[in-house]
Structure 1
Amino acid sequence: MRDFSDSRLSILNVAIKCGIEILKRAGMDEYMARCPFCGDTDNPRYGHLMLNIAKDAYHCVRCGEKGFAIGLYARLHGIDNKQAYRELMEMDDESPKVEIKRVPQNPVASLETRDRVYRAFLSRLKLSKEHLKNLIQRGLSWEVIAYNLYRSAPVYKKERREICRTLVNDGYDLKGVPGFYKDSSGNWTFSGYSGFFIPVRDVQGRIQGLQVRLDNNDEEKKYCWFSSEGKPEGTPAHAWIGVSGGPAKTVLVTEGPLKADVAHYLSRYTFIAVPGVNSIRGIEQVLKELYAERVYIAFDTDKATNVYVKKAEDTLKSLLEKNGFDVRIKDWDRRYKGVDDYLLALKKEKVKKVV
């Protein structure tokens, strides 16, 4: 009988046996590594292959390749899983000894609770001049910026604790709301970031979760989810699909909630924001709830040179067509990477013509 709990079959050991470069621990149960399938990015310090030590699984968020430890070894060595198992069991375990810390986590609260808490939370925050300038430069108006509740993340721990204290005193239950957790003193606080919050809404306009636009200049990681995974009484964020706009027969799909917000404002079309080009689970249901009939896929123009974005586009197109949607591919001038950039350029050109 096979023992799949043997450390020689762990995802870290298998990755090492496959010559995969493991970069760093990226979460309670995950390590970041360089993907052997897509070759990853030019930045050697960053990787898209996530190795889950709790599930002994892998998933590249760039090219979409995923599976389990034995299958990873089999694929990279051109053999079947039975042969991979035999070869791995004949080798020594070279994986680092890592402790899987089981910090008690709260399940995600209901959407109604999250929406209520996030709105109260954001109402207690301000938007810095730098972040306001960033949003205006993207083409958003002051009114839309205020309405969409973009807010700067507080920097100081004391301020974060005080905000949570007022929320609790006002009757808000922070348990199960991603981003919030209890500190060593047993008081509620929330994860700290340098950046601004972007609400991610559902079809009815309820806030499902928050993304953070980070202040760093790292092109590989400009956004992250507001999450408290791995922290006492914390809750991990999900990769929620966002909606910018209301029910419509024609809907466009792009990557990222801020891009969708900007594109919706500049075009008045309804946009769906997938958190990543390969993160499309449940998108057909969202489109049905919007009463969409025709769907335009508006991924960035780097799909012309990035085969993995093009592959993701083809996968999404096939999925939506199988669900009865009339699917089109939206293309534009390649001088502009994103659909938001393109729409902003059109707006500026229109203003020039009027003047």
Structure 2
Amino acid sequence: MSGGVSKNCSFSNPCPICGKPDWCNQVTFSNGDYLWYCHRVHGAKGDIITASGKMWVWKKITPEHFTVWEPKEQYDANRESFIKALPKNSQKGTYYNSSSYRNGSSNERVVSADYIDWNALPLEGTSECASPQTLNVFYRELLNNLVLEDKHEAKLRAEWDCQKGTFEKAIKYFQIKSMPPEDRVRFSSKERFKNLSRKKIVANIIDKLGEPIGVPGFYQRKDGTWTLYYLCGIVFPVFDSDGNIIRIRIGNDYPKVKGTLNGKDGVFNYYMKDEIPGWYFMPDGESEPILAFQYGSESNLISLNKKGYPDGKVVGKYMNFTSFKELHFKDEQGNPRRINKFTNGCESGSFCSLYTKPGDDPTIVYVTEGEKKAIVGNLLLNVPVVSVPGTSSILKLFENEQGMERTLVDSLIRKGTRAFVIVLDADKKVNEAVLYAESLVITAFKERKLTVFTGEWNAQWGKGLDDILLTGVLPDIRPAM
């Protein structure tokens, strides 16, 4: 398959894999064959899923992290044609995917038999997510057991203290704290922390509230003891429209970084190997990591930049505090099993967060991407600000809030909101993904007969809403076109 025409999904033609009207796209080829590139539903080689009344075969994952799916009837027809075209002594075993048997340009192999519809299997080792009220109780108790580490306070003050009082208000209204590293990493490093150990934090919570069943971020070890997901960094609570803390987002201290070492491309990860915590580099296509940087060592292969990372493209800077990773395997009897790696854990998912405080006027609500931008927007504009977890997730504004039969937009209208202002990053003029997200959400507001504006500014003043507000610049509010 080559020379296909790509068309974005829409409300009238949503993605059949995830059911959403945004971010995914269909590629149609001259012979009528087509593939769907889905940004949300992933899989692995050999997977077959059922969605929108059809069966779909996993094809590949693109460098942009889209998963490509092919209708099974199309896949089977192409396979049959391919096998018939083979010499008679070659018509057994594995075969190549359609791009291979059409033009021979791909070496990707696809398993020809024993397909398993993993999604049809029961999911083991996971808990149903608790109610918003229960989540709020557990997450507030978690925050009560955390403090903000000095390095995180210094980082936030460096960004926010140009507007006096911003840091103190953020701490007061939104309970920003620090999540310490895993205990085994913490006690192997030379860094000193104010926070309690994770073991003590979890023990305190269970002593007071009982087991955190159905709370994303908590799970049980093999010995049955409860623990926390490995992420460490700055904690940003995620609030629903009733003020419940329903999720935790982490400003990751150690995100993945795509970079180079000794002329090779690869990924830097921070973890502990052979009792040595540090930044390890995994070259593309290789299986043995290289210790590139260890804190306190005088023989490091790299230096860290001013943000504390290796140089390169940062991936996963802000992440959900979850306790879910789906694994597929066959047991000793050959039975396929679908399990959660984190026993009795719970998937977080991504949610919008409403940042507001007493005295805010709810008539106009701003919408931006990212917790820090929304917090600064609320504190300096004194209006409610919604943070969406990513531009690709902006239509979550119109999904039901957890445990409610209404969307966040509906909830805000009930509170008196009459207009919405979309304030995405200024690079939307050159970033097609951001511009596309803005056009999607504007269309969605207009389809619901709601008043919507956009916030505009010259990019020389800063990229995001927080950048310009902290320098004293206000966005220019214009009717959305």
Q: TM-score, normalised by structure 1?
A: 0.73
1:290 counterpart (402, 412, 415): 412
Superimposed CA distance per residue, residues 180-236 of structure 1 (whole angstroms, 9 cap, x where no aligned partner): 000121001111223111101011211010000012345332111000103011111
SS in 2 for 1:141: helix
8 Å CA contact retained: 1:180, 1:234: yes
Superimposed CA distance per residue, residues 3-48 of structure 1 (whole angstroms, 9 cap, x where no aligned partner): xxxxxxxxxxx9xxxxxxxxxxxxxxxxxxxx998xxxxxxxxxx7
In the superposition, relative to structure 1, how do residues 248 and 161 fare at CA in structure 2: closer, same or farther (>3 Å)?
same
SS in 2 for 1:138: helix
Q: Does 1:121 align with 2:121?
A: no
Partners of 1:231 and 1:171 in 2: CA distance: 21
SS in 2 for 1:219: strand
What percentage of residue pairs aligned between the two structures are identical? 24
Partners of 1:62 and 1:300 in 2: CA distance: 24
8 Å CA contact retained: 1:125, 1:151: yes
Report how far residue 332 of structure 1 moved: 1.0
Which runs of no fewer than 5 residues in structure 1 stay unpaired? Answer: 1-13, 15-34, 38-47, 72-80, 349-355
SS in 1 for 2:209: coil
Greater Cα shift, 333-342 or 130-139: 130-139
Bigger fraction of residues in strand: 2
In the superposition, relative to structure 1, how do residues 61 and 283 fare at CA in structure 2: closer, same or farther (>3 Å)?
farther
Partners of 1:319 and 1:88 in 2: CA distance: 41
Q: Which one has the largest radius of gyration?
A: 2
Query: Which residue of the partner structure matches residue 69 of structure 1?
Result: 69
Equivalences for residues 187-336 of structure 1 within 5 A? 187-216=225-254, 217=309, 218-229=313-324, 230-245=341-356, 248-284=362-398, 285-291=407-413, 292-335=417-460, 336=462
Superimposed CA distance per residue, residues 258-280 of structure 1 (whole angstroms, 9 cap, x where no aligned partner): 22111111211211111111213
Counterpart residue type for residue 70 of structure 2: I
Report how far residue 288 of structure 1 moved: 2.4
2:218 counterpart (180, 192, 198): 180
Partners of 2:63 and 2:467 in 1: CA distance: 22
RCO comparison, higher one (Cα < 8 Å, 6+): 1
Report how far residue 62 of structure 1 moved: 11
Partners of 2:469 and 2:60 in 1: CA distance: 33
Q: Does 1:338 align with 2:475?
A: no
Equivalences for residues 42-191 of structure 1 within 5 A? 51-53=42-44, 55=49, 69-70=69-70, 83-88=74-79, 90=82, 92=95, 94-95=109-110, 103-139=124-160, 140-157=166-183, 159-191=197-229
SS in 2 for 1:324: coil
In the superposition, relative to structure 1, how do residues 205 and 61 fare at CA in structure 2: closer, same or farther (>3 Å)?
farther
In the superposition, relative to structure 1, how do residues 58 and 243 fare at CA in structure 2: closer, same or farther (>3 Å)?
farther
Counterpart residue type for residue 410 of structure 2: K
Partners of 1:63 and 1:334 in 2: CA distance: 26
Bigger fraction of residues in helix: 1
Partners of 2:62 and 2:386 in 1: CA distance: 19
8 Å CA contact retained: 2:388, 2:396: no
Query: Which residue of the partner structure matches residue 76 of structure 1?
Result: none
How many residue pairs end up in the alignment? 296
User: Please, what is the CA RMSD of the aligned residues?
Assistant: 3.5
8 Å CA contact retained: 1:49, 1:58: no
In the superposition, relative to structure 1, how do residues 172 and 266 fare at CA in structure 2: closer, same or farther (>3 Å)?
farther
Greater Cα shift, 134-143 or 313-322: 134-143
SS in 2 for 1:279: helix
8 Å CA contact retained: 1:49, 1:59: no
Greater Cα shift, 223-232 or 132-141: 132-141
Q: TM-score, normalised by structure 2?
A: 0.55
Counterpart residue type for residue 140 of structure 2: R
Counterpart residue type for residue 147 of structure 1: Y
8 Å CA contact retained: 1:50, 1:60: no
Partners of 2:452 and 2:473 in 1: CA distance: 26
SS in 2 for 1:212: strand
SS in 1 for 2:394: coil
